[in-house]
Chain A
Amino acid sequence: MGKLISAVLIAATIAVAAVYLIRRRNISDADLSRARGWRRHVLIGAAMVLAIVGVGGCSGDSKSVGAGGHPPIQPEETIANATSRVREAWRQADARPDPDDKDYAKFDAALKARLAAHDAAVDALVTAGTLEAETGAILKGALSSLTNSAEFRQGRVTCYDMSVEGGASVRAEGDLAKASAELARLAESAKLAPAVVEKARNQIARQLQIITIANQAGDPAVVKLAQAYLAGKPIDEPVPDEFVKAAEALARILSGQEDQ
Chain B
Amino acid sequence: MPIRPQSLLFEITARCNLNCLYCYNVWKDDCGYPCGNGSTELDTESIRRLLAKAVRESGVSQVTITGGEPFLHDDLVEIIGYLAKMGLAVGLIANGTAGGEQMYRDAVKAGAGIVEIPLLSSERAIHNSMTRGTAFDLATERLVDVKSAGGRACAVIVLTKMNMHDVRETIAMAAVLGADSVMINRFNVGGEGRRHVDELLPSPGELTAALLRAEAAAEEWQMPIFSSVPVQPCLVDLSQFKRMRFGTCPACTEKGYCTIDPLGNLRPCNHSPTILGNLFESDFQALAENVAAAAYRAARPAFCSDCAIAADCQGGCKAAAEACGGCARGEEPFLARNRASVRRKREEGHEGTKGAKVTKNTQTRSEEWAS
- Are B180 and A159 in contact, with the CB atoms below 8 A? no
Q: Contacts A157-B245, A186-B173: A230 and B89 contacting too (C-beta < 8 A)? A: no
Partner of B177, one of A169, A195, A196: A196
- Are A161 and B64 in contact, with the CB atoms below 8 A? yes
Q: Mark out the residues of chain B between 252 and 269 whose CB falls within 8 Å of any chain A CB in the assembled complex.
A: 255-257, 269
- Are B137 and A232 in contact, with the CB atoms below 8 A? no
- Are B150 and A156 in contact, with the CB atoms below 8 A? no
Residue numbers in A under 8 Å from B81 (CB-CB): none
Query: Count of A-B contacts with CB under 8 A?
Result: 154
Contacts A158-B250, A178-B221 known; 20 new A-B pairs at CB < 8 A: A157-B365, A158-B256, A159-B229, A159-B230, A159-B250, A159-B256, A160-B93, A160-B116, A162-B363, A164-B114, A164-B152, A167-B181, A169-B147, A171-B222, A182-B173, A183-B176, A193-B137, A200-B178, A232-B151, A234-B148
Taken together as a complex, chains A and B put the C-alpha atoms of A158 and B248 apart, in Å, by 7
Residue numbers in B under 8 Å from A232 (CB-CB): 108-109, 149-151
A8 in contact (CB, < 8 A): no
- Are A172 and B222 in contact, with the CB atoms below 8 A? yes
A215 in contact (CB, < 8 A): no
B contact face: mostly helix, strand, loop, or mixed:
mixed
Contact with A along B223-240 (1 / 0, CB 8 A): 110101110000000000
Residue numbers in A under 8 Å from B176 (CB-CB): 179, 182-183, 186, 192, 200
* Residues of B bordering A, CB below 8 Å: 6-7, 9, 61-62, 64, 89, 91, 93, 108-109, 113-114, 116, 122-124, 137, 140-141, 144-145, 147-152, 154, 156, 172-173, 175-178, 180-183, 221-224, 226, 228-230, 245, 247-251, 255-257, 269-270, 363, 365, 368
Residue numbers in B under 8 Å from A164 (CB-CB): 89, 91, 113-114, 152, 154, 181
In the assembled complex, the CB of A145 is this many whole angstroms from the nearest CB of chain B, namely: 9
Contact with B along A138-169 (1 / 0, CB 8 A): 00000000001101100111111111111111
Residue numbers in B under 8 Å from A152 (CB-CB): 62, 89, 113-114
Q: Mark out the residues of chain A between 76 and 135 whose CB falls within 8 Å of any chain B CB in the assembled complex.
A: 102, 104
Total number of A residues with any Cβ neighbor in B under 8 Å: 47
- Are A158 and B7 in contact, with the CB atoms below 8 A? yes
Partner of A156, one of B7, B147, B182, B224: B7
Taken together as a complex, chains A and B put the C-alpha atoms of A1 and B261 apart, in Å, by 68
A191 in contact (CB, < 8 A): yes
